[in-house]
Amino acid sequence: MSNALKVELGRRYRFSASHRLHSPHLTAEENCRVFGKCNNPFGHGHNYVLEVSMSGDVDPATGMIANLADLDAFVERQVLEEFDHKSLNEDVSAFREKVPTTENLCIEIFQRLKSFPKAKLERIRVQETANNSFEYAGDNVEGNQR
């Protein structure tokens, strides 16, 4: 980044999805013990809140680090179209072999959003319930520098 003023922006999105927490690597008893009611064979749903934090230089011509309409369209394509009103286990290929915990959901969303071309993805945060939220800033924060 140049000597321009660096700013971080946050944007919030919402989506609803269902999942079942179940691992084929565990026995039925272990799945029930580890995941409890979240191992219900019929799954259960959440109204997720996704917070995306991006950083970058302020463009002197626009006064912005990224056009919010561009970011919204990118998040819509990369995440919301794929996850909203879907079964994470059945409809999202990334979770066919991986337990769709919110921790894994954070990692998947980060991977989908890190290629946004107009600003650097700093981190994402997913709120699953009023009591549970998870944040992810990439495997190697330094390795994701622009």
The answer to whether 32 is a known catalytic residue is no
Instruction: Catalytic residue, from 29, 103, 128, 142: name it.
Output: 128
Instruction: Catalytic residue, from 38, 103, 122, 135: name it.
Output: 38
Instruction: Catalytic residue, from 30, 44, 76, 85: name it.
Output: 85
The answer to whether 128 is a known catalytic residue is yes
**33: phi then psi, degrees, rounded to nearest 5:** -65, -45
Angstrom CA distances, 5 to 1, 23, 57, 69, stand at 9, 46, 6, 21
> How far, in whole angstroms, is CA 142 from its chain's centroid?
19
Angstrom CA distances, 90 to 17, 93, 109, 123, stand at 11, 7, 17, 26
The answer to whether 19 is a known catalytic residue is no
- For residue 104, the SS3 value is helix
Residues noted as catalytic = 38, 85, 128
